[in-house]
Amino acid sequence: MSEKKVLYSGMQATNTLTLGNYLGALKNWVKLHEEYECIFGVMDLHSLTVRQEPATFRKNARSLYALYTAAGLDPKENCVYFQSHVSAHAQLSWILSCFTYMGELSRMTQYKDKAAKHEDNVNAGLFTYPVLMAADILLYQSDVVPVGVDQKQHLEIARDIAGRFNNIYGDVFTIPEAYFGTTGAKVMSLADPTKKMSKSDENANATVLLLDDRDTIIRKFKRAVTDSDTRVYYSEDKPGVSNLMEIYSAVTGSSFDEIENEFEGKGYGDFKLAVGEAVADELAPLQKRYDELMKDKTYIDECIKENDDKARYMANKTLFKVHHKVGLVDLIR
């Protein structure tokens, strides 16, 4: 068994990833396997809280696996697996739901937000979503979990559930900590820089997708909302330009001061074009590798099988221990 601490994370398998997903998380995940034993899930069960078109959903999930790999998450060095292929997630989620209180779940802000957006489909899965997320994390005895602002509540409730279970049955679960290592860029909408970039945004120009072609990427940045000023500098009063500077800094490595100096005396038009070109250059190798992977079904299938088997082994070790602790008849293996 590795002496490294376990780091766990994943993304939902709906639509393709955005530039925000890449710069805010995925790009930074690639650097972590040297320090941690990394487990990354294609979180397809979580995606079912919203109705999915089956063929498209299946294609998107496989596409996400290929994007993980194309971005640099080598399945030979990380455990990259499908959540739905490990039945222990659903099994532990049910057990943990019996140790979770209705009041805790009703206070989750993400449930309130999603229920408001999907008033025609406020299902029980939406309500118990945090319990499944707790199961995801706790199954692998995760030491650390990278979290954004919108995920802090979910990690907190996972910690609460684990602590409650441990208080009754002993040290069964590792209590996970939030990971605050190298943080990615906070990427906002190109159409409304006061909102986070989202793959569900109805305005196509608001979001740069990882599989957008070069011309589309540059066109979207040319249309990015800024302000009536012309000077490029970072300020809370200039959310549009500041967002573009965050993105440019993330893909070029330039500091804000260096960016300001680079575009001294130039207008927003020059800056927007430069950001678009820099992003297109950053994504070109990923897109090329993605296209190669999507054509190599044998390799992807081999990686999926190997990693699913590895994930099942780790998850079942925890599940069998939980079964025994709560008094279920031990599985005959």
Instruction: Say how far apart CA 183 and CA 197 lie, in whole Å.
Output: 17
Average pLDDT, stretch 282-302?
Answer: 96
Structural domains in the chain, sorted by start: 5-185+296-326 (3.40.50.620), 204-292 (1.10.240.10)
Could you give the C-alpha distances from 31 to 37, 217, 313, in angstroms and in order? Answer: 12, 25, 25
Query: Of the residues 186, 196, 222, 310, which is catalytic?
Result: 196
Tokens of 279: 């992003």
* Intra-chain end-to-end CA distance of the chain, in Å: 21
Residue 269: count other Cβ atoms within 10 Å of its Cβ. 11
What does the pLDDT read at residue 299? Answer: 96
Q: Read off the pLDDT of residues 43-59 as tens digits, 9 standing for 90 and up.
A: 999 999 888 999 999 99
Please give the helix or strand (H or E) that residue 7 lies within, else none. strand 5-12
What does the pLDDT read at residue 201? Answer: 83
What does the pLDDT read at residue 183? Answer: 57
HEC string for 151-201: HHHHHHHHHHHHHHHHHHHCCCCCCCEEECCCCCCCCECCCCCCCECCCCC
Residue 195: strand pairing partners: none
Backbone CA torsion sign across 89, 93, 63, 274: negative
Question: 169 near 327, Cβ under 8 Å?
Answer: no
Question: 158 near 138, Cβ under 8 Å?
Answer: yes
- Model confidence band, residue 208 (pLDDT cutoffs 50, 70, 90): very high
Global pTM? 0.90
Average pLDDT, stretch 55-77?
Answer: 95
Residue 208: count other Cβ atoms within 10 Å of its Cβ. 24
Task: Return mean pLDDT, the chain.
Answer: 92
76 a catalytic residue:
no
- Model confidence band, residue 157 (pLDDT cutoffs 50, 70, 90): very high
3-class secondary-structure state, position 82: strand
- Model confidence band, residue 170 (pLDDT cutoffs 50, 70, 90): very high
Tokens of 210: 């990882």
What does the pLDDT read at residue 149? Answer: 65
Indicate the range of 6-15, 105-114, 151-160, 257-266 predicted with least confidence.
105-114
Instruction: Say how far apart CA 223 and CA 259 lie, in whole Å.
Output: 20
What does the pLDDT read at residue 316? Answer: 97
- Model confidence band, residue 181 (pLDDT cutoffs 50, 70, 90): low
Query: Of the residues 4, 5, 199, 222, which is catalytic?
Result: 199
Query: Of the residues 4, 5, 114, 266, which is catalytic?
Result: 114
Exposure on the CB side of residue 257, measured as CA atoms within 13 A: 0
152 a catalytic residue:
no
Residue 8: strand pairing partners: 39
220 a catalytic residue:
no
What does the pLDDT read at residue 49? Answer: 86
